[in-house]
Amino acid sequence: MNVKQLFDLTGRVAIITGGAAGLGLQMAEALSEMGANLVLCARKKDRCEQAAKDFAAKGVKTLALACDVRNQASIQETVDRTVAEFGQIDILINNAGVSWGAPVEDMPLEAWNKVIETNLTGTFLFSQAAGKIMLRQKRGKIINIASVAGLRGAPPELPAIGYHASKGGVIIFTKDLACKWAGHNINVNAIAPGWFPTHMSEIVIERNKEAFLKRIPLGRFGSDYDLKGAAVFLASAASDYVTGHVLVVDGGQTA
């Protein structure tokens, strides 16, 4: 195959959790631009429906669904609806996530549980449900959205230990699942973004803007296109010999 064919996603079906806004929407745009059909799911269905209308205007087949990644039945319904609509699941991007800021000594248990259940357990549950379809197909691409926060600790002014722990968990989950399903032609990789201005991160970025920029060699935050190439690479045949990998997209922050 030539390079254009390697990156072509025409006819592929991609589920993106939290795909109606922020990084999820950016990655959804990238896959659609390479020909993929989209399933956008999030707790707020209205956002997904609006995004689906925008994609439909561009000729992209899109299904908008409400889904809570902490709810196994909700996930299964999303998988079932996807298969009923498109007949297959080729790509899963586990992007839905939450954070909670509090000093360790003051972190409420319910807050810790919410972050772990959404970011880590949700990634497991959705991979399990979609993976059963991929196992039957004997092919698939799973992309878990981790974070540079999962690669190392952070100073006290970034009090989000639940988020860091959950993303560290996502990274080792990715590596282990890659080993477990490699024999079934299922690639499992992760993307670890650095600081991208989104609804979830904008307050933290605004409070620490200058300090963060000093630690980023490229001297800027992630843009509205900086994850596109990474997502397409890991979703396409271009990465067929890549599994268990964590692709860091952080402007050099962890270098």
> Which of the pair, 9 or 205, is modelled with greater confidence?
9
**Domains (ranges, CATH) in the chain?**
3-248 (3.40.50.720)
Q: Mind listing the pLDDT tens digit for each residue in 160-175?
A: 999 999 999 999 999 9
Q: Mind listing the pLDDT tens digit for each residue in 213-255?
A: 999 999 999 999 999 999 999 999 999 999 999 999 999 999 9
In 3D space, the residue among 95, 126, 99, 139 whose CA is nearest the CA of residue 240 turns out to be 139
The pLDDT of residue 158: 87
CA distance linking residue 188 with residue 142, whole number of Å: 5
Specify whether the CB–CB gap between 78 and 39 falls below 8 A: yes
Of these residues, 7, 55, 126, 163, which one is catalytic?
163
Mean pLDDT across the chain, nearest whole number?
A: 96
What does the pLDDT average to over 15-42?
Answer: 97
Q: Mind listing the pLDDT tens digit for each residue in 54-98?
A: 999 999 999 999 999 999 999 999 999 999 999 999 999 999 999
Q: Mind listing the pLDDT tens digit for each residue in 71-81?
A: 999 999 999 99
What does the pLDDT average to over 27-31?
Answer: 98
Active site annotation includes 225: no
Would you give the distance in Å from CA 245 to the centre of its chain?
Answer: 14
Tokens of 41: 């799911």
Specify whether the CB–CB gap between 128 and 81 falls below 8 A: no
Look up the pTM and report it. 0.96
Please, which residues have CB within 8 angstroms of residue 234's CB and are 6 or more apart in sequence?
141, 143, 187, 189, 191, 242, 247
